[in-house]
Homo-oligomer: A and B are copies of this chain.
């Protein structure tokens, strides 16, 4: 069973993992991404990938699951940035 602290950690993880969803939604709806930094998402997925490796070494399923999902969501945001960016 999960204790109160573990539930708090789980809720915290849901928030930090889901944070990119409003940005994906905004980019999808407006097709405007010029003010969004691709650098932010590249640094982020690098870190998330390292967290997944860390989770695999530690055999920590919640770390693998939350960071793996965040990796996929943020990679999709990078795809949207390159799909919708203004051609110069």
Interface of A with B (CB < 8 Å)? 5, 8-9, 11-23, 25-27, 30, 32-37, 39-41, 43-44, 46-48, 50-51, 53-54, 57-58
Contacts and interface: CB of A to CB of B under 8 A. Distances in A.
25 contacts: A8-B54, A8-B57, A11-B50, A15-B43, A15-B44, A15-B46, A15-B47, A16-B47, A16-B48, A16-B51, A17-B47, A18-B43, A19-B41, A20-B40, A21-B43, A22-B37, A22-B39, A22-B40, A23-B39, A23-B40, A25-B37, A26-B35, A26-B39, A34-B35, A36-B36
B12 A51 contact: yes
A51 B15 CA distance: 10
Number of identical protomers = 2
B43 A12 contact: no
Nearest to A36: B35
Contact of A54 (B5, B14, B40, B54): B5
